[in-house]
Amino acid sequence: MKRLAVYCGSATPADPFYVDLARTIGRTLAERGIGVVYGGGKLGLMGAIADSALAAGGEVIGVIPEALVKPEVAHGGLTRLHTVQTMHQRKALFTDLSDGFLTLPGGVGTMDELWEAVSWAQLGYHEKPVGLLNAGGFYDHLIAFNRHMAEVGFVRPQHRGIIIVDETLDDLLAKMAAYEPHQTIFRMTQDEL
């Protein structure tokens, strides 16, 4: 994996755990030679991951919609900053520029990005690993909900492994590197659906 799209919050939670986590992730990815593709802002976890990756000599590519340049205060010191018109274009470019997706703690926007990456993988728009870093148990309830959707039958057995989960970055990156694409909906017959 040469580049990962990193999804995380643009907010700065009161607990320093989250910003420290983002800094560690940015630095670690840069040290491993993995470029960061992210939302292009300089605030919150987004800014922390970008700044730490850049400080460690890493490549950081931002993708930000024009309407969010001022509210998210676009980061001016990136390797590259792409300004697009819509959120859809932003997420499509994340997919085009990256070899996989890494989701850190975040809010509604982070969830939107994660679920779109999962949905696109399920359908067959990409065959890239989708990682979820469950640091500090942040995503315990989301993981349980995803399992519930599968148990009820809203997630096909072939797609249960799309979200790759771990509590540590090292183990998550190893799982993502070993990911083998699943059978996509585009490749299924009507009987398999």
CATH architecture of 3-187: 3-Layer(aba) Sandwich (3.40)
- Taking only the tens place, the pLDDT of each residue in 53-86 is 999 999 999 999 998 887 668 999 999 999 999 9
Nearest Cα to Cα of residue 7 among 139, 140, 137, 158: 139
3-class DSSP state of 13: coil
Distance (Å, rounded) from C-alpha 87 to C-alpha 139?
Answer: 24
Judged against a pLDDT cut of 80, whether residue 166 lies above it is answered with yes
Beta-strand ranges (E) seen in 26-178 are 35-38, 60-65, 80-84, 101-103, 130-133, 163-166
Distance (Å, rounded) from C-alpha 151 to C-alpha 2?
Answer: 35
* pLDDT band at 189; cut points 50, 70, 90: confident
Average pLDDT over residues 34-52: 97
Report CA dihedral (164, 50, 31, 18) to the nearest 10 degrees: -60
Average pLDDT over residues 34-38: 98
Structure tokens at 110: 């982070």
Structure tokens at 53: 């990756």
103 φ, ψ to 5°?
-105, 120
- Taking only the tens place, the pLDDT of each residue in 100-158 is 999 999 999 999 999 999 999 999 999 999 999 999 999 999 999 999 999 999 999 99
pTM: 0.94
What residue segments make up the domains of the chain, in order of their start?
Answer: 3-187
